[in-house]
Amino acid sequence: MPIRFRFRLIPFVVTVLLVVLGIMLAQWQTRRGDQKQAIESKLLQREADPAIKFSNASQDVDQLEFRRMALRGEFIPGWPVYLDNRPLNGVAGFYVLMPFKLTAPDALPDSYVLVARGWLPRDPADRSKLPSYPTPGGAIEIEGLARRDFGHVLQLGDAAPLRPQAIVQNLAINEFAAASKLKLQPFVIEQTSNTEDHLLRAWPRPSLGIEKHRGYAFQWYALAVMACIFFVVTGFRRGSKNTNKPAGRQSG
């Protein structure tokens, strides 16, 4: 019995679209995984280095990112801001952000760094209610991890004007600088040192999710392969059905 393939245009177009979509999304997930793998490699390389003291001569973000830094100065408690939708161990909560005025000998006058001090749980009954926490007074020394930003979460709608005590979804350094009129350094700090303020500092690793991206890439590649297989198999099945149909009576 001859094996025949029945080609149909619409299923072919749908298959091509699915294959292209699957490959594009798989490649995007692969790139995301590669980016996080590069971050993990940089983290491992710089975690072993001793904490560096702040210096105005070393403000290049590429060189500072993921390095442990020691900063001397004082917190400005009049300008706290809270990043919402930052859960910890499945509990909803906020990151407490506060400017830190640098008082090191080589710090420029009125120079500040935006610091993520730690995590607070959110009141399940009242989202806007914030637990109290102490802020160290006077000059202290803190340590933390230098980052480009605090990461981003999905934000619906426009953000409200930034002000002290604001609860926001995302925050950029230049936005905080414009609202507070403070001269901020071009990096942020995730505080790791303990200042007896009862805040939790279990920061998520920036490289978290490498295997997740690899898994998603595999799924999208699998979708592309399955679309091809489905198109080929159904084409041969339809071709076989047409071949097996009995021929009509011929007159004459």
pLDDT at residue number 10: 86
Residues 79 and 194 in one domain: yes
Q: Within 10 Å of residue 133's Cβ, how many Cβ atoms? A: 13
Q: How many contiguous H segments (helices) and E segments (strands) does the chain have?
A: 4, 8
Residues 199 and 81 in one domain: yes
Euclidean distance between the first and final Cα of the chain, in Å? 28
Residues 86 and 143 in one domain: yes
Residues 72 and 170 in one domain: yes
How many Å is the Cα radius of gyration of the chain? 28
Are residues 117 and 190 in contact, defined by beta-carbon separation less than 8 angstroms? no
Positive or negative: CA dihedral 55, 59, 61, 63 = negative
Token representation of residue 105 = 């000998």
Residues 191 and 224 in one domain: no
Structural domains in the chain (count): 2
Q: Which domain holds residue 214?
A: 1-50+207-241
Mean pLDDT per block of 10 residues along the chain (252 residues) reads 74 89 91 81 76 69 84 93 90 93 75 93 84 89 89 70 89 92 92 89 78 87 90 78 56 42
Q: Which helix (H) or strand (E) is 41 found in, with range? A: helix 9-47
Determine whether 177 is exposed, middle or buried from the number of CB atoms within 10 Å of its CB (0-12, 13-18, 19+).
middle
Residues 89 and 200 in one domain: yes
Residues 175 and 80 in one domain: yes
Token representation of residue 230 = 């489905």
φ and ψ at residue 225, rounded to 5 degrees: -65, -45
pLDDT at residue number 117: 95
> 252 in a domain, yes or no?
no
Pairing of strands 81-83, 167-168: parallel
Q: What does the H/E/C string look like for 147-209?
A: ECCCCCCCCCCCCCCCCCCCEECCCCHHHHHHHHCCEEEEEEEEECCCCCCCCECCCCCCCCC
φ and ψ at residue 12, rounded to 5 degrees: -65, -45
Of residues 164, 53, 146, 174, the one with CA closest to residue 104: 53
Residues 179 and 127 in one domain: yes
> 225 in a domain, yes or no?
yes
pTM (predicted TM-score): 0.71
Of residues 112, 116, 2, the one with CA closest to residue 56: 112
CA–centroid distance for 126 within its chain: 27
Residues 211 and 196 in one domain: no
Q: Give the contacts of 178 (CB within 8 A, at least 6 positions apart).
A: none
> 175 in a domain, yes or no?
yes
Residues 86 and 200 in one domain: yes
Residues 123 and 183 in one domain: yes
